[in-house]
Amino acid sequence: MNEIVHRPALLKAVLELMQPQEGETFVDFTLGGAGHFAAFLPHLGPEGLAIGLDRDGEAIARAERLQKDWPPCRIILRQAKFSEAEDILCELGVEGIDLALFDLGVSAFQVDDPTRGFSYLADGPLSMQMGSDKKKAMELVNGLGEKQLTQIISTLGEERYARRIAKSIVRKREEAPINTTLELVSAVDRAVPPKAKRHLNAIRARVFQSIRIVTNDEMDELHTGLLGAIRYLLLGGRMGVISWQSLEDRKAKHTFKLYGAKGEKEQEWVLLPATRKPVTADPEELEANRRARSAKLRVVTKVQKEGA
């Protein structure tokens, strides 16, 4: 089996906008392939502290194997969901952080491993577990009612054929339980009208996305994680979020806006955006990494509110 090549998305922009400095404390809430994490280390130096978190134990194990090749820095790696991050930081005695990074969605390592069940392109068990949670996608697909499935596919997948697809899923599971990725693909495909067949892969992707989000409670986890990171962010601290689909980007945008200069949250500090619009991949990066075409980066800085 070939080793998956990990290319961290928007890395140049992340470093330019977040400007890691020597001696700072950095938390990567989504360690993944550790590409972003490793790139921060030379800037933090031996006195810096880099904490890598990920709900996927395989990501932590992979980073531990890579650690011997990293430049000198104080490094701590822990398996944790976003909702557990504050407890980890408290346990470690961290009182504040200078840098926080979220690279959302599913990692290339997870998608490209058929045994994880994230991809509609390869057959495998319909699991979609990002971490060690017990809930599996197959339980949702086989257990939820047609109305629930329709709502999930419509709202979290933003799929126009959600009702037809939900009906097809229910019909197929009446024949036999849907336990594999390609069995789910079959149910999706037969629901798509002929005029939309040329968009099959996009439709499959949206359905898989919606099921994955629910399986892993991604939106609730993201909400909790963003608020926790903001609380721990020191004045002058920078926080970046890389999103891969519109739901994630809207959540980051809305959360940052709440704490912005004209936001609803009354604090002695505000979050100021580093750019007016989210940053996307340039042509050079897209040529090297087509997956980056969906990535959007938002960076904010926590500053003292004027007059506070």
- The reply to whether 11-109+218-304 and 134-215 are identical in fold is no
| pLDDT tens readout for residues 3-30 | 445 689 999 999 999 999 999 999 999 9
The whole-angstrom separation of Cα 42 and Cα 194 is: 54
The whole-angstrom separation of Cα 166 and Cα 146 is: 6
Cβ neighbours of residue 264 under 8 Å, at least 6 residues apart?
258
pLDDT at 5 (0 to 100)? 52
Neighbours of 266 (CB within 10 A): 8
Distance of alpha carbon 95 from its chain centroid, rounded?
25
| pLDDT tens readout for residues 275-288 | 999 999 999 999 99
CATH number of 11-109+218-304: 3.40.50.150
Give the domain ranges of the chain: 11-109+218-304, 134-215
| pLDDT tens readout for residues 97-118 | 999 999 998 888 899 899 999 9
Alpha helices (runs of H) in the chain, residue ranges in sequence order: 11-18, 35-44, 57-66, 85-91, 108-111, 137-143, 146-155, 162-175, 181-189, 200-215, 218-232, 246-258, 283-288
Residue 263: pLDDT band with limits 50, 70, 90: confident
Residue 308: pLDDT band with limits 50, 70, 90: low
**Residue among 108, 107, 128, 109 nearest 117 (CA):** 128
pLDDT at 262 (0 to 100)? 87
pTM strictly above 0.85: yes
CATH number of 134-215: 1.10.150.170
| pLDDT tens readout for residues 202-222 | 999 999 999 999 999 999 999
Cβ neighbours of residue 217 under 8 Å, at least 6 residues apart?
none
Residue 129 above 50 pLDDT?
yes
pLDDT at 134 (0 to 100)? 80
